[in-house]
């Protein structure tokens, strides 16, 4: 744990590698289970002024996608620079080196080897929430010089509360808790405080900081003032047309599991769930703002690469689904903002990017030659010119090992094609320009067989064939 006592040890670390003193810092901020419900992404209700101002000083990626819509596999993929088939990790509660990549050099480890001080505060690799908060069960010690898992009271704090999905288990149910005070006993609050202290104590010595917030992961816990931002009368649950689920394959319905059928919620319950989610986002946003302010005060902001990301998207009632484990847009699309020294500010890019691309991108921004074996593409050229053409496709998969189901999706600028393998083989095809909410599965219609075959070939060719030409 980072404390005043061991800051002295940190600052007395061995001399940095040659050239590291002029290298940029990296502030790598993760939010858990966050979709694009943010002001800078055009959400009509959610108030996220601090993430919005980060977008105003960097590039907002409007078409960024995870490689696996589940916490553990997604984070392993991002932090290792490998796709889920290469990591062998397609479920939670597995450490990064346990399967196919025991000798991998992870993203923070790469910076550590290049002479930057590598520190983790909060959730970077998988951490069960709420039960695992404050623990290091699935962390990766070679990634960090210092690792800190701040404890928190989570939903056990005193306050107004209700569980609107009582049949769902812990870590899956939509229980909201509105408490008074500043949250000094919450892990995210403690983590932000420790990050701020670290930034000021570190001085001008280069660092890589992985700062992981657990909000808005359920349970939905936030100070009452953030719940007050969202009167229930202003919140409208999404609507789905009759028969929407009639053309969704059985395999897709199986992998979503208990998160289908609106999780048993009526409209009033849904409003409460949405309010809790929005309040948790605004709470997390306020903490991000405090850390950004501390970075500005330290005079290091102009030499720091700042990345804000989420591990996957999050359904909020689309197709009567909630949470993750889906290959639809809402579950696979993620917020991604990158602010880097010398790069354009306040721009948006519609280029297709993937979380696995962050590994080579940050290596290039940090002046590091990455180890061989990474499976993404640096999007530094897209940071330099956000409007330029980029990848032709991005790839997301969803495995359900228990049932032997594997779903693979390819997303192009205009379409999404999904192929399900295993006991219930099937296909999906959606025109995202005419049908952005993916209500009509065109794979069922013979007149789209030609397009389906083309996208099937794109999926088979894989990520290397979809790389951008630079």
The catalytic residues are: 71, 126
According to DSSP, the residues that pair with 420 across neighbouring strands are 407, 426
Cα distance between residue 176 and residue 299, in whole Å: 38
DSSP 345: S
Cα distance between residue 68 and residue 232, in whole Å: 33
Please check whether residue 144 is in contact with residue 235, taking contact to mean a CB–CB distance below 8 angstroms. Answer: no
Q: What is the dihedral of CA 314, 417, 257, 318, to 10 degrees?
A: 40
Please check whether residue 272 is in contact with residue 166, taking contact to mean a CB–CB distance below 8 angstroms. Answer: no
Helix 49-56 to helix 267-297 angle (10° resolution) is: 50
> Buried b / exposed e across 48-65, counting CB within 10 Å, b at 16+?
bebbbbbbebbbbbbbbb
Helix (H, G, I), strand (E, B) or coil at 353: strand
Cα distance between residue 343 and residue 225, in whole Å: 36
Calculate ∠ Cα 61-334-128, nearest 5°: 145
Calculate ∠ Cα 391-396-399, nearest 5°: 160
Q: Is the dihedral of CA 273, 194, 143, 60 positive or negative?
A: positive
Please check whether residue 26 is in contact with residue 305, taking contact to mean a CB–CB distance below 8 angstroms. Answer: yes
């Amino acid at each position: 744990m980072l404390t005043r006592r061991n800051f002295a040890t940190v600052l007395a670390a061995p001399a940095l590698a040659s050239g590291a003193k002029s290298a940029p810092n990296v502030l790598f901020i993760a939010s858990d289970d966050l979709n694009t419900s943010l002001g800078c992404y055009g959400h009509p209700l959610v108030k996220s002024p601090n993430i919005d101002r980060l977008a105003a000083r960097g590039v907002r990626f409007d078409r960024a996608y995870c490689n696996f819509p589940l916490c553990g596999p997604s984070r392993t993929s991002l932090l290792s620079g490998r796709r889920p088939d290469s990591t062998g990790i397609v479920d939670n509660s597995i450490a990064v080196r346990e399967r196919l990549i025991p000798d991998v050099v992870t993203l923070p480890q790469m910076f550590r080897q290049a002479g930057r001080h590598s520190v983790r505060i909060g959730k970077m690799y998988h951490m069960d929430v709420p039960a695992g908060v404050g623990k290091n069960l699935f962390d990766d010690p070679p990634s960090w010089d210092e690792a800190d898992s701040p404890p928190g009271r989570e939903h056990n704090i005193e306050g107004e509360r209700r569980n609107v999905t009582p049949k769902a288990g812990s870590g899956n149910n939509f229980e909201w808790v509105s408490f008074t005070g500043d949250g000094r006993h919450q892990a995210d609050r403690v983590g932000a405080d420790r990050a701020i202290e670290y930034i000021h104590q570190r001085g001008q010595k280069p660092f890589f900081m992985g700062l992981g917030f657990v909000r808005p992961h359920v349970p939905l816990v936030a100070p009452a003032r953030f719940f007050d931002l969202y009167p229930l009368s202003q919140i409208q649950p999404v609507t789905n047309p009759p028969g929407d689920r009639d053309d969704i394959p059985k395999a897709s319905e199986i992998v979503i599991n208990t998160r289908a059928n609106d999780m048993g919620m009526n409209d009033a319950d849904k409003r409460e769930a949405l309010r809790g989610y929005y309040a948790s986002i605004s709470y997390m946003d306020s903490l991000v703002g405090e850390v950004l302010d501390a970075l500005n005060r330290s005079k290091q902001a102009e030499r720091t690469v700042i990345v804000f990301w989420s591990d996957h998207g999050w359904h909020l009632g689309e197709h009567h689904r909630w949470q993750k484990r889906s290959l639809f847009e809402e579950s696979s699309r993620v917020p991604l903002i990158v602010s880097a020294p010398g790069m354009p500010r306040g721009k948006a890019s519609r280029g297709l990017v993937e979380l696995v691309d962050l590994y080579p991108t940050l290596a290039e921004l940090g002046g590091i030659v990455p180890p061989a074996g990474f499976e993404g593409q640096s999007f530094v050229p897209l940071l330099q010119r956000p409007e330029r053409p980029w990848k032709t496709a991005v790839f997301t998969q969803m495995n359900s090992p228990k049932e032997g189901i594997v779903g693979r999706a390819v997303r192009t600028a205009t379409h999404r094609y999904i192929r399900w393998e295993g006991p219930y083989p099937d296909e999906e095809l959606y025109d995202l320009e005419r049908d952005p909410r993916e209500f009509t599965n065109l794979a069922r219609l013979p007149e789209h067989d030609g397009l389906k075959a083309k996208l099937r070939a794109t999926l088979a060719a894989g990520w290397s064939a979809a790389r951008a030409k630079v």
